[in-house]
Homo-oligomer: A and B are copies of this chain.
């Protein structure tokens, strides 16, 4: 979608440019609020978390921020002390140019790991940017944070008098764990830090943390929300619903744009003992390369879903005799298929979005997760990404 002015929250400015990080597409995005914002962020749990993650985590400790810097095509990860010095310098330049306090600036960076920023180019490119900020263009911002993404990812809602917009990027190295790929949310709603934090973390957990493209957790995962309060207070529940809807939209956009993906896979596991179990089983299915390739080929090899459930070896309360497996409305296990049903199953598996539904029949909990199929395209893209 393209964001219309009527859904653009007030009081934000942007500057988007190419600094020559890798190629000639936009690779630098600055989003600045006119006033300091209530803010929250969740980040990758990777042991190799990037220096941008470390700095942003520190700068968000007081739940306040005014500017977000995003550099794409270079993750600035695993570069040691010089990587941290480079990131701090970028923040200092932006602070000087814009008048924002450096500890109110957060930074995110994704792309190749283990290569230093072209710091001379960055210094030159950032000269005078304080004067180049214009009324926020979130469409361009969504495009500027892309790496191997093929489409920008943006969603927005009205909440009372306020607006809420979210942008995200991510196509590979995606198995967020208590965090996410890059996603940024901006609102002019007035909301307290505690409420924002509680709503934001609960929604990230049920949306971005339920998404997986390839089981590889990024070193740079970052999700941040800024609320500048200029539109005044809104209903908390309406705000939560709008945020959840935006997050869901972005998750589906990311799954659909997964590297090489031709189909979205949505897996729901219900009647589980608890949410953790439901999500674990659902993730085992959506992450199985054999399930993913079967969906890609529309091959009615449903037994691979049974295999994937079987991998959850610690979940001893699960009994195969109680389980029901469906693709859309076609029951495949217990197995009642004949050649006609197999053809129907092939049809269902040929759709843009393939829904797999598992009932464990041992409890009340339910979880839904999202992913994508595995095609030759994923291999092709990732066999030659850095070169």
Given A290-B214, A296-B379, A379-B293, A306 contacting B219 (CB threshold 8 A): yes
Residues of B close to A112: CB separation below 8 A: 301, 303
Q: Is A299 a contact of B376 with CB atoms below 8 Å?
A: no
Residues of B close to A218: CB separation below 8 A: 307
Q: Is A173 a contact of B114 with CB atoms below 8 Å?
A: no
Size bracket, chain A contacts: 35 or more
Residues of B close to A378: CB separation below 8 A: 289, 293, 379
A362 CB, min distance to chain B CBs, angstroms: 12
Q: Is A47 a contact of B293 with CB atoms below 8 Å?
A: no
Given A307-B173, A335-B79, A374-B379, A312 contacting B47 (CB threshold 8 A): yes
Pick from B44, B290, B335, B386: contact of A300, CB under 8 Å: B386
Q: Is B80 a contact of A334 with CB atoms below 8 Å?
A: yes
Q: Counting CB contacts under 8 A, is A333 at the interface? A: yes
Pick from B293, B312, B333, B386: contact of A78, CB under 8 Å: B333
- The stretch among A5-13, A33-41, A62-70, A313-321 that forms the contact with chain B is A313-321
Residues of B close to A184: CB separation below 8 A: none
This protein's copies in its complex: 2
A299 CB, min distance to chain B CBs, angstroms: 5
Counting chain B CB atoms within 10 Å of each CB, the highest count among A217, A310, A316 belongs to A310
A58 CB, min distance to chain B CBs, angstroms: 17
Per the 8 Å Cβ criterion, residues 318-338 of A in contact with B are 318-320, 332-335, 337
Kindly state the separation between the CA atoms of A48 and B217 in the bound complex, as whole angstroms. Answer: 28
A115 CB, min distance to chain B CBs, angstroms: 8
Residues of B close to A375: CB separation below 8 A: 379, 383
Majority-rule SS of A interface residues: loop
Per the 8 Å Cβ criterion, residues 356-387 of A in contact with B are 374-376, 378-380, 382-387
Pick from B77, B289, B300, B306: contact of A77, CB under 8 Å: B306
Residues of B close to A77: CB separation below 8 A: 303, 306-307
Q: Counting CB contacts under 8 A, is A130 at the interface? A: no
- Name the residue on B nearest A293 (C-beta): B382
A375 CB, min distance to chain B CBs, angstroms: 6
Q: Is A308 a contact of B216 with CB atoms below 8 Å?
A: yes
A384 CB, min distance to chain B CBs, angstroms: 5
Residues of B close to A75: CB separation below 8 A: 303
Q: Is B297 a contact of A382 with CB atoms below 8 Å?
A: yes
Q: Is B332 a contact of A114 with CB atoms below 8 Å?
A: yes
A167 CB, min distance to chain B CBs, angstroms: 23
Q: Counting CB contacts under 8 A, is A302 at the interface? A: yes
Counting chain B CB atoms within 10 Å of each CB, the highest count among A294, A311, A386 belongs to A311
Known: A78-B335, A379-B379. 13 other contacts (CB 8 A): A44-B310, A46-B311, A48-B310, A113-B301, A175-B311, A216-B288, A218-B307, A289-B289, A289-B378, A297-B383, A300-B387, A303-B386, A374-B379
- 24 A-B contacts (beta carbon < 8 Å): A45-B313, A46-B310, A46-B313, A47-B312, A48-B306, A48-B307, A48-B309, A48-B320, A49-B310, A78-B333, A78-B335, A80-B335, A112-B303, A113-B303, A114-B302, A114-B303, A114-B306, A114-B332, A173-B307, A216-B288, A289-B382, A300-B387, A301-B386, A376-B379
